[in-house]
Structure 1
Amino acid sequence: MKVDLSLLEHQYPFELLSEQELRELFEDSSYEEFSTNEFIIHEDQQQSDVHMLMSGIADSIMHRSNGKQHSIRYFYPGDLIGLMVLLTSEKMRFSVRCLEPVQTLKINRSKFMKIMDNNPKFSQLVLDMLSDLTKSLYDEVKYKESDDDTENETGLFKERTKHYMEKPTFIRSSKTIADAAELLKKEEVEGLIVSDNNKNFEGMISYHEVVEAFMNGESYAVVSKYMKDENFSVSEQEFIFDALSYLKHHPATIIPVMHKDQVAGILRQSSFIQIDQSIYFDLTYRISNAKTIEELKALSPVNNKRFQRFIRSLIEDQMFAYHIAELITNYNDRIHKQIIQIVEDEMVDLGYGAPPINYCFLIMGSAGRKEQMFSTDQDNGIILADYEASIHKDKIESYFARFTKRINDMLDECGFPYCTGGIMAKERKWRKQESAWKDSVDEWLKKLDAEEIRDFTIFMDFRPVFGDYSLAYDLKKYVTGKVQNSLGLHQLLMKDTLRFRVPMQPLGRISGTGKKRLLDLKKAATMQIVNAVRIYSMKYGIETNNTVDRLKLLTEENHFHPRDAENAKLSLHRLMMLRLELNLRQLEEQRPLSNLVSLNNFNKQERRSLKEALNVAKRLQQVLELSYNRNRVM
């Protein structure tokens, strides 16, 4: 369609252009059509033409690392889109998405720049427009950084001081300043605890006081003369946040950690980079900065010995296995995020461009519940913003077919094997528009059979890992509302979980398969607890995925007795711990990963612990079976 210059000659800011400049600027321009949810420009684009919005409304959004998107401003007819990337060498820090069908007039970037060079008044007007946009973006960046800091700090409220403290170095009050200087240098610490019995706090002396004494010519004065007998201290049971805040502003000091009236340890800045944590921090930093699949492959849990040793250290520290599983899952999440970002960049480099619409990559099953072990495969999908009415429908479908296949291939290379059941985003069944997902849920609930129910069970525990999380949250609310009132679905789920009986005989003997008496720790035990808790959660409309979190909410709402919830958690811990230790041995011995354990190798204590866990799983299974046989829901 030919551009009508008469519509533009009085339009801000083009009213400052001559007739000749108007013709030069718009002679190669073209009208572009975009549907609701399509991106006009995306933050991953290296370059973009300028678009003048002719009709419709578009939203300028900032993508956050937590999956949320924050609106910076709206674009209305007459607004220019793409000035930021046009006039800077940086990548876009935001995207522009259509809130309704939009038409733009696309203007060639090099011609736009040429006109700016030759027309100072026009150039100044464009720069003023850019200044307004930059201010909006700057305000949003400040808000984002504040939000991210809050998220990081809230985790510190859960950490206890005793997990970070180091062994204190004591000095007697009668020792000299020279003795203190020598001890500070030898122990490489910032300060010494003054105590005559190596227990009670009498004071503290640091480099600051030692230097002061030397400058006063009193290197042989006693420590008690220069020590500080009043100092900021914390209890070993206090949360770490206050201590960290203090050290942030006093980096060259130490904080005594007290157990009642005695010094149990000290804190200093380096205390927060203990050897175990530093391994994890180092590995996650490397993941977030990885640029190639080879780097990520070396960092994956099944390939990285440092990560495996880190998990072993957590086991030795007697951390609950379900918390370790959550940490492993969080680590895997980082790999997923980085792979998806690398694939996005690849798509741009290969000429396919940035994602044309919003999407959300989902992980399901144990990953969705944050209960992953080393032995895990892929269970994932993707929600696409609705694009049915888009004139670019075929192009969008082709883009995401290629995009998701590359993601699944990379995950496989990194030690997350393809799902044998085909539950992967590259499969059309698991790659749908938001409205199509809701239609599929409706169809599932109407026509579920034995085969489909297993897929639906895995799907039920989905959560977002990359993209626009609101797509996943909206779908989760829709699914939760549907399944809560679907009595038929509850019955099918109960029937499905009864396919795998807990291998406990009437007299308490554990049944194993074959001469080695093999037991599948996942199918025959862990999943019975997971499935039962899921069904209860469905009935009561609980949206959270993690089994321990579900138990907590069920208890708070008086659907589970606290003692039953604690028994289920303890059993889950024991079963998961067995799987963790099994997987670590398999990795050390370079054997294939599995959940099969030989009962012949169990000692008496291990057998008793397993029996108690299996009894809890069997009880939950019996409750389900009773409900199923009575043809009612719990």
Structure 2
Amino acid sequence: MIDTSLIPNIELFIAQVPPLSYLPKSLISQIANNINIRYIPKGENIIDSQNNEHNLYIIRVGEVEQINPDGRLRAKLESGSIFGFSILNNKDEYCAFALENTLIYQVSYQMINDILKQYPEYIDYFSKETSTRLSIVAKNNILATSDNILMKSVSDVANPQIVLVDSKSSIQQTAQQMTKYRRSSAIIMDQDKIVGIVNDRDMTKQVVSKGINISAPVTSIMNPNPPTVTSNELVLNAVSLMMQHNIRSLPVLLDGKVHSILTAIDLLKYSSLQSIFIINNIFQVDSLEQLIELSQQKELIFTALIKSGATHNNIMKVMTLIADAFSQKLLQLAEEQLGSPPCSYVWNVLGSQARYEMHLLSDQDSSIIVERELSPEENMYFMKLSTFVIEGLEKCGYPKCDGNYTANHSQWCQPISQWKNYFEQWIINPEKEYLLHASVLMDFRPIHGNRELSDILHRHVTTLTQNNSRFLRFMTANAVRVKPPISIFRNFVLTKEGENKNKLNLKKRAISLLVDLARIYAFSTNLSETLSTEERFSRCYQLGVIDKLTLDNVLETYQFVCDMRFKHQLQKLQNNQNATNHISPDELTLLERNQLKDVFRLIAKFQEAAEIRFSQRGIIR
């Protein structure tokens, strides 16, 4: 019989764990009163494929590994995770054992079954299929959210109960404080400065598993210099930061001092945020098939972000972080299948992904830098690896680049020496084809492997472009060849043929033009680091290259066309149509048409100003 004094704590915990969190409070209380608490020592089975108990399992403390009948890893799960859905459906058997000493809350199949018979509207929340569970949450909660939590301040949801520990404290003293105040993490302070953070997982993985002396200083196991967020920052920005660093706790500052803490558990209380944490799920799966299931949520997340009122740059940043996670997981899976790479390498993403500007229709662009020349056998390894990743991304909804700028083409999988030669050729002798290569491949960002290789190449590109007015002239002349779709009579210039006849291409004839101009202005300041389009324009203003009025105009213009594209894509999705970058003027209100004409005219003026500043008319025909 369960100790009744434990029930309030159990109820509080499971109320934060999806899908139980979607049940009415009365049902959560009913489950809490009938939970079986199990302690499983490290290495022991929780469920056995030959003798499955019919239960749903919630990990309170510890870590669990699931193994399929063929011996392959199914998933690794941590505190707050729930499993056993496949057992509820009487199929897809597997083993599960404790990777470390683990405390489990066990809910009988019979109880869940009785609840679902009484409340059939919750059946899909307990489906065996991950995609079904995520879809029902997204459809019924994310899109119907009324609290707009993403647009609230961090202070509205952060937990003011924090544990601050002096950097001279021992591991034991820190653990005692965390236990006393029932917190899963502690912020390590040196006077008034945050120097690190430690959580209960660190205590288990660093201290218990490695046998570290509990009298040792807590600084020996802390995560140093954690990212922080201010209390007035938007929740969406905080979520993006947590996703980018793959962390679960974020110190919150007010007037420069620690005020509260924001945790993944706090955020998961809000149904409108649960699918945003798709990245956590991406890194837990162990197969391409499971990744494909998760990828079906991208459209719902994109829609939820727009409906929540998220800004265009936050939407693109979140979509980019998700794309990064899919790429990184596929690279991990590829290395598991093929074995360790024959030499050090880095996987770079290019274009919009490199600039954190992805959206629902973005394709994939990538390259590989290896540290040295490859033998034919070694080259075959990287061709197999890149093909696995690129084909996997395509199955996850990221189409291949039309221009073949992907790492499975041997031209874009080269040693650092050859990459240096490429850029020397493109920049010193900027012919038309080379300018196309440069415009695509100069925006690169490392996401996996030896990032120093990318840093070396960035420094080399900076040296080549520094004060290189000739290269800027060619880049500018090439960039302004494509004009905004507006005539001198303020009429739209529409596509004349094909499936997009009589439509405007917002990407090619507006957004891409601003992206190109931002890159040119950035290179004029010797800034080769890959930044977003808005960051590049802002940096140019800070360096005195453009004035405040120009900055305001160009940022407003960029925001307008991005917002219009997203609004248009959302309308298409809601009408069960394919989202595109093309828009018909007939679909716009009179005000929107006039605003878009003004925007196109501004872009034309930006092009003219750049041409006067950097180019020579007619240099490229």
Mapped partners of 2:371, 2:432: distance in 1: 30
| 1:511 and 2:511 aligned | no
Q: 1:465 to 1:630 in 2, by over 3 A?
A: same
Give the letter aligned to residue 405 of structure 1. T
* Residues 32-181 of structure 1 aligned to structure 2 (within 5 Å): 146-147=223-224, 150-151=225-226, 153-155=227-229, 159-160=233-234
Give the 3-state SS of the residue equivalent to 1:432 in structure 2: strand
- Alpha-carbon displacement from aligned partner over 1:82-118 (angstroms, at most 9, x marks no partner): xxxxxxx99xxxxxxxxxxxxxxxxxxxxxxxxxxxx
Q: In structure 2, how many angstroms separate the alpha carbons of the residues matched to 1:466 and 1:548?
A: 25
Listed as ranges, the matches of 1:578-593 within 5 Å are 578-593=564-579
Letter in 1 for 2:616: N
- Given that 1:161 and 1:240 are in contact with CA atoms closer than 8 Å, whether structure 2 keeps it comes out as no
Distance 1:617 1:506 in 2: 13
Aligned equivalents of 2:618 and 2:286: distance in 1? 55
Structure 1: distance between partners of 2:343 and 2:594: 55
SS of aligned partner of 2:384: helix
Distance in 2 separating the partners of 1:162 and 1:374 = 18
- Corresponding residue for 2:293? 298
- Structure 1: distance between partners of 2:470 and 2:234: 46
- Equivalent position of 1:244 in the other structure: 260
Give the structure 2 partner of residue 570 of structure 1. 556
Q: Following the alignment from structure 1 to structure 2, what is the Cα–Cα distance between the partners of residues 312 and 239? A: 35
Following the alignment from structure 1 to structure 2, what is the Cα–Cα distance between the partners of residues 162 and 573? 18
Q: Could you tell me which of 284, 287, 300 is aligned with 2:282? A: 287
Q: How far apart in 2 are the matches of 1:481 and 1:579? A: 37
| Partner residue, 2:327 | 336
Preserved contact between residue 349 and residue 365 of structure 2 (Cα < 8 Å)? yes
Percentage of pairs with the same residue: 23
| AA matched with 2:392 | M
SS of the equivalent of 1:424 reads coil
For structure 2, list consecutive stretches of 5 or more residues without a partner in the other structure: 1-98, 101-209, 239-251
Deviations 1:17-71 (CA, angstroms, capped at 9, x unpaired): xxxxxxxxxxxxxxxxxxxxxxxxxxxxxxxxxxxxxxxxxxxxxxxxxxxxxxx
Q: How far, CA to CA, are the matches of 2:586 and 2:543 in structure 1?
A: 42
Unaligned runs of 5+ in 1: 1-88, 91-133, 165-234, 249-267, 348-352
Cα drift, residue 135 of structure 1 = 10
Q: Could you tell me which of 516, 519, 529 is aligned with 1:534?
A: 519
In structure 2, how many angstroms separate the alpha carbons of the residues matched to 1:612 and 1:566? 15
| 2:476 pairs with 1:490 | no
Residues 397-427 of structure 1 deviation map (CA, whole Å, 9 limit, x = unaligned): 2211221121111111111112221111011
- Deviation of the 1:242 alpha carbon: 4.2
Partner-residue secondary structure (3-state), 2:347: strand
In the TM superposition, 1:349-360 aligns within 5 A as: 353-360=339-346
Matched position secondary structure for 2:228? helix
Q: Is the counterpart of residue 362 in structure 1 residue 348 in structure 2? A: yes
Q: Which amino acid aligns with 1:519?
A: L
Q: 1:345: Cα distance to partner?
A: 0.8
Distance (whole Å) between structure 1 residues aligned to residue 219 and residue 293 of structure 2: 35
* 1:315-394 equivalence runs, <5 A: 315-347=306-338, 353-387=339-373, 393-394=375-376
Whether the aligned pair in 2 keeps the contact of 1:157 and 1:241 (CA below 8 Å) is: no
Cα distance in 2, alignment partners of residues 382 and 163 from structure 1: 30
CA 1:143–1:622: 2 relative to 1, 3 Å: farther
Whole-Å separation in 2 of the counterparts to 1:346 and 1:408: 15
Matched to 1:525, the amino acid is A
Alignment correspondent of 2:537: 551
Secondary structure at 2:583's aligned position in 1? Answer: strand
TM-score of the pair, normalised by structure 1:
0.56
Aligned to 2:598: 612
Q: Specify which of 271, 276, 285 is matched with residue 275 of structure 1.
A: 271
Tell me: CA distance 1:239–1:284, structure 2 relative to 1, closer, same or farther (3 Å): farther
SS of residue in 2 equivalent to 1:629: coil
Take 2:336 and 2:220, find their aligned partners in 1: how far apart are those partners?
26
Q: AA paired with 1:438?
A: K
CA deviation after TM superposition for structure 1 residue 158, in Å: 6.7
Give distance in 1, aligned partners of 2:584 and 2:270. 36
Count of residue correspondences: 392
For residue 573 of structure 1, report the CA deviation from its aligned partner: 1.2
Q: Distance in 1 between matches of 2:373 and 2:605?
A: 48
Determine if the alignment matches structure 1 residue 476 to structure 2 residue 489.
Answer: no
- How big is the shift at 1:590? 5.0
The alpha-carbon distance between structure 1 residues 629 and 527, as it changes in their structure 2 partners (threshold 3 A), is: same
User: In the alignment, what sits opposite 2:433?
Assistant: 451
Amino acid at match of 1:336: S
- Residues 355, 518 of structure 1: CA spacing in aligned structure 2 closer, same or farther, 3 A cutoff? same
One-letter identity of the residue aligned with 2:548: P
Alpha-carbon distance between aligned partners in 2 of 1:273 and 1:550, rounded to the nearest angstrom:
37
Using a 3 Å threshold, how does the CA distance of structure 1 residues 403 and 522 change in structure 2: closer, same or farther?
Answer: same
Distance (Å, rounded) in 2 between the aligned partners of 1:328 and 1:525? 21
Deviations 1:431-467 (CA, angstroms, capped at 9, x unpaired): 0111111111112224432223112101111111111
User: After TM superposition, where is structure 1 displaced by more than 6 Å over at least 4 residues in a row?
Assistant: 141-144, 161-164
| Residues in 2 aligned to 1:565 and 1:278: alpha-carbon distance in whole angstroms | 36
Structure 1's 604 and 435: CA in aligned 2 closer, same or farther, altered over 3 A? same
The separation in 1 between residues aligned to 2:444 and 2:550, in whole angstroms, is: 26
Is 1:434 the counterpart of 2:430? The answer is no
Q: Does the aligned pair in 1 maintain the 2:386–2:408 contact within 8 Å? A: yes
Higher relative contact order (CA 8 A, sep 6+): 1
Report the Cα distance in structure 2 between the residues aligned to 1:339 and 1:587, rounded to whole angstroms: 28
* Cα RMSD (Å): 3.5
Alpha-carbon distance between aligned partners in 2 of 1:364 and 1:144, rounded to the nearest angstrom: 36
Q: Which amino acid aligns with 2:233?
A: E
| Pairing partner for 1:499 from 456, 481, 506 | 481
Structure of higher CA gyration radius: 1
Aligned to 1:17: none
Specify whether residues 241 and 158 from structure 1 end up closer, same or farther in structure 2 by C-alpha distance, changes over 3 A only. farther
How far the C-alpha of 1:500 sits from its partner, in A, is: 1.4
What secondary structure, in the 3-state scheme, does the structure 2 residue paired with 1:378 have?
A: coil
What secondary structure is seen at the aligned counterpart in 1 of 2:591?
helix
| Distance across 1 between alignment mates of 2:576 and 2:272 | 24
Q: Distance in 2 between matches of 1:482 and 1:163?
A: 35
The whole-number CA distance in structure 2 between the counterparts of 1:458 and 1:481 is 19
Query: Does the 8 Å contact 2:302/2:360 carry over to 1?
Result: no
Shift in Å at residue 314 of structure 1?
Answer: 3.0
Q: 2:477, 2:617 within 8 Å by CA — same for their partners in 1?
A: no
Deviation at 1:146, TM superposition (A): 1.0
Q: Measure how far apart 1:604 and its partner are.
A: 1.7
Q: Per the alignment, do residues 610 and 338 of structure 1 end up closer, same or farther by CA in structure 2, a change over 3 Å counting?
A: same
Aligned match for 1:314, one of 296, 300, 305: 305
Q: Which amino acid aligns with 1:426?
A: N
Q: Which amino acid aligns with 1:342?
A: L
Contact 1:387 1:433 in 2 (8 A): yes
SS in structure 2 of the partner of residue 465 of structure 1: strand
* Alpha-carbon separation, structure 2, partners of 1:286 and 1:162: 19
Cα contact 1:159–1:240 (8 A) shared by 2: no
The residue number in structure 2 matching 1:523 is: 508
